[in-house]
Amino acid sequence: MFKDFKLIDERPVAIQVKDYMKRLIIKGALQAGQKLPSTRELGGLLKVSRNTVMAVYADLEADGFVYVLQGKGSYVAALADNASAAAPSWQMDWTARLNGNARLAEELDLMKHGIRADRGTISFTSIAPDEKLFDLDNVKRAFLDRMSVEGNVLLNYGYAKGYKPLMDYLLRYMDHKGVDLKGKDILITNGFTEGFDIVLSALSRPGGSVICENPTHHTALKNLKLHGFDITGIAMERDGIHLGELEQALAQRAYDCAYFVPSYHNPTGIVMSPEKRLALMKLMERYQIPIIEDGFNEELRYSGSHVSPLIAAAGQGNNVVYIGSFSKVLFPGLRVGWVLADRELIYYLESVKRARSIHTSTLDQSILYQYLYNGNLEKYLKKARAEYKRKYEWTMHCCREHIPYTSLSGDGGLHLFVTFPEGFSTRELLDACRKQGVIFTPGDIFFTDGGGQNTMRIGFSRVSDEDIGRGIRMIGGTAKQMMS
């Protein structure tokens, strides 16, 4: 006994010894009534100081694991419950108890059934930001600044609606995007996904239906399906959703709501033109359909003029629910997003949020707030945009050079979308490329109607210039071979 004890670095020695002894007692290796080695003896066996062992024994006694007989030594206490020995142990079939929701969540879970990168593979599957760009020092400073202002407050319970300074900051931020805030309110969520999920869980109903771009963001598709929505996808044109098809669909049946990604649309990378935005808003008014707007990557504009979100175009109207996040622009690890919408709606969503997770991490919110307040976003965006723009242009160049596409889209953002001739299979292309160490996201997962077998998404944000060059050449070469 005592031979398997191994000290690890940095963690206090006394804690390690206590944990070790506690485990021996709980697991029954040291039995009730058994005499423990003297402090000197155990110190020698574990190669720790006698003082440490004395402190540990005192602690174990205080915790009820050990008792002391004066002048005799320390003994293992009888644990109040050695229930583990006596309680019946039985197995049940959990999968048989799972409902359809859990099964569907698993079935639609791309992280489980998607494409995995082996080590050394050039992977174009990610559209997360490049962590090499993160300005860690400013994040550290934001944390320390905020902790020194109100550390105690940050670590205790916060409010379901959000951390007040951040809420106020984001309201101003949206005001600066031209949003009329009158009658509107904000709810902070754990990123876009929770915001979207909360909105859907408040609006879903049996036989619910939604209309959206086709293709579209696959996590949104997943959550719409999980909430039982029937999904109608409308084709994309070079400047955004096909208005003719949209109107036709709207004329045919009623929809509970629409879901649109007007900027750097995922996966096509298309920015909806200002004219189309206006026409879209008119159409939605005519059919009285509320819009859930995904503010995805709005900040990643590399050139051209300012384009306002749909919720700004709605003016004093309350028909747009805007969901924003800095995840793709700043730090996805900070799980912070926001829902900006009609005040009455937010009042209910706040209760849904509270029932789900009490509130979003106050530390995440306060760090983001202080980081923004310190003026870091502007500085960071300048640097990040320059780098992503360079990569974007290089990836565009490589695709034009090597890939036999029929169309290539992407007005900015962190990814491009490639369409091959009808009949071409990007799944087959993926199989062939993967063997050569290159992967991408096959486009079919973004389609609402089983289409898109001839499409793929190329995320370039986390791939080096050299790998972008090599990878795209390889994909292009393989595609050409398959075509011939």
Minimum CB distance to a second copy, residue 191 (Å)? 6
Minimum CB distance to a second copy, residue 107 (Å)? 8
User: Do the beta carbons of residue 283 and residue 238 sit within 8 Å?
Assistant: no
Minimum CB distance to a second copy, residue 115 (Å)? 16
DSSP state of 270: P
Amino acid letter, 356: R
Minimum CB distance to a second copy, residue 464 (Å)? 15
**C-beta of 232 vs 362, nearer to a second copy:** 362
Q: In a 3-state reduction of DSSP, which class is residue 108?
A: coil
Residue that is written with structure tokens 């929505």 in the block = 229
Q: In a 3-state reduction of DSSP, which class is residue 265?
A: coil
**C-beta of 311 vs 403, nearer to a second copy:** 311
User: Do the beta carbons of residue 433 and residue 417 sit within 8 Å?
Assistant: no
Minimum CB distance to a second copy, residue 427 (Å)? 22
**C-beta of 282 vs 400, nearer to a second copy:** 282
DSSP state of 420: P
**Parallel, antiparallel, or unpaired for β 455-459 and 415-419?**
antiparallel
For residues 80 and 166, give the distance between their C-alpha atoms in angstroms, rounded to a whole number: 48
Q: What is the CA radius of gyration of the chain?
A: 28
Length of the chain, in residues: 484
Minimum CB distance to a second copy, residue 370 (Å)? 10
**C-beta of 118 vs 422, nearer to a second copy:** 118
**C-beta of 26 vs 483, nearer to a second copy:** 26
Q: Which two tokens stand for residue 208?
A: 């619910």
Q: Per DSSP, which regions of 162-317 are E strands?
A: 184-189, 209-214, 230-237, 240-241, 257-260, 291-294
**C-beta of 198 vs 433, nearer to a second copy:** 198
**Helical pair 362-373 and 136-155, crossing angle rounded to 10 deg:** 130
Minimum CB distance to a second copy, residue 441 (Å)? 15
Minimum CB distance to a second copy, residue 304 (Å)? 6
**C-beta of 323 vs 475, nearer to a second copy:** 323
Side-chain half-sphere exposure of 244, counting CA atoms within 13 A: 1
Minimum CB distance to a second copy, residue 423 (Å)? 33
* 292: number of Cβ within 10 Å: 25
**C-beta of 128 vs 235, nearer to a second copy:** 128
**Parallel, antiparallel, or unpaired for β 337-342 and 209-214?**
unpaired
Q: Give Cα separations from 329 to 128, 200, 336, 388 (angstroms).
A: 8, 24, 12, 11
Q: Which two tokens stand for residue 467?
A: 């790998």
**C-beta of 156 vs 484, nearer to a second copy:** 156
**C-beta of 94 vs 422, nearer to a second copy:** 94
Which pairs with CB-CB distance under 8 Å and at least 24 residues apart come from 105-108? 105/222, 105/226, 108/222, 108/225, 108/226
Minimum CB distance to a second copy, residue 468 (Å)? 19
**C-beta of 301 vs 391, nearer to a second copy:** 301
**C-beta of 354 vs 480, nearer to a second copy:** 354
Minimum CB distance to a second copy, residue 198 (Å)? 9
User: Do the beta carbons of residue 76 and residue 34 sit within 8 Å?
Assistant: yes
Amino acid letter, 235: A
**C-beta of 76 vs 433, nearer to a second copy:** 76
Which candidate, 57, 116, 145, places its Cα nearest to that of 371? 145
Q: Give Cα separations from 20 to 27, 45, 481 (angstroms).
A: 11, 13, 61
Minimum CB distance to a second copy, residue 11 (Å)? 6
Minimum CB distance to a second copy, residue 103 (Å)? 7
Q: In a 3-state reduction of DSSP, which class is residue 344?
A: helix
For residues 292 and 339, give the distance between their C-alpha atoms in angstroms, rounded to a whole number: 10
Q: Which helix (H) or strand (E) holds 444?
A: none
Contacts of 463 (CB under 8 A, 6+ apart): 122, 123, 124, 391, 471
